[in-house]
Structure 1
Amino acid sequence: MFENIDFSPGVIFYDVTNDDTCLKEEDIFQVRYENLPDRLVIDLGWYRTNYAIKVIKNMDWTEPLLVKKCTEVSDLEYIMNECALFV
């Protein structure tokens, strides 16, 4: 789903976007930037009513650096690209 997005130097850690049945799971996609000083993570999940893409710093899930939400699968690539550019 995100083939056109450059996540470097991040590493895709988890990806079930090729399985449509998994697009309503809490854990869908994750990129880790463990070599950066702040150990950033981009995380995509489904949260009952919407998708949320979060940028996490130093594994502090309580205070994300950035949160983007949408309800349509068709919006995910655009929002994911915004998050990748943010990182």
Structure 2
Amino acid sequence: MDFKNVLGKSTGIITYDNFSTLDVSSGIKGNIDNLKEDLLQIEYHNNLILDLGWYPSFNKKGAFSISIIKDFDWENPIKVQKCKSFEELENFITEFINYCNNY
């Protein structure tokens, strides 16, 4: 799993990234002390933001939440997905980056 390669396909600007430093090979348990609400933000020229976090922070029963926000309307994301594994997350990040790149 190569998240740096996936993130490299984004045409947006990464404005916050505590995600790419995670050791994916350690799984969720091995990263739980670093899994928090603010993991990754990518801003796009078309007023979209891709936002990734783990909710609730530092909780092994939590989940990744990936959202696309339009015009800073955080209360009404235009796309949201939740998952509990890095494998699922890779697919969703790819899908969401493609969506934002082509919006």
User: TM-score band (shorter)?
Assistant: 0.7 to 0.9
Q: What are the Cα deviations for residues 33-84 of structure 1, in whole angstroms up to 9, with x where unaligned?
A: 1x22xx1000000112211000000000000010011011232211100101
Q: Percent identity, aligned pairs only?
A: 34
Counterpart in the other structure of 2:39 = 28
Give the one of 26, 38, 63 matched to 1:50: 63
Structure number with bigger Rg: 2
Counterpart in the other structure of 2:15 = 13
- Show structure 1 runs of 4+ deviating over 3 A: none
Please state whether the residue corresponding to 1:4 is helix, strand or coil: helix
Please state whether the residue corresponding to 2:76 is helix, strand or coil: coil
Higher helix fraction (1 or 2): 2
Higher relative contact order (CA 8 A, sep 6+): 2
Counterpart in the other structure of 1:3 = 4
Equivalent residue pairs, number: 82
For residues 57-72 of structure 1, what are the structure 2 equivalents within 5 Å? 57-72=70-85
Contiguous gaps of at least 5 residues in structure 2: 23-30, 57-61
Q: CA RMSD in A?
A: 1.4
Counterpart in the other structure of 2:28 = none
Amino acid across the alignment from 1:40: L
TM-score (norm 2): 0.73
TM-score (norm 1): 0.85
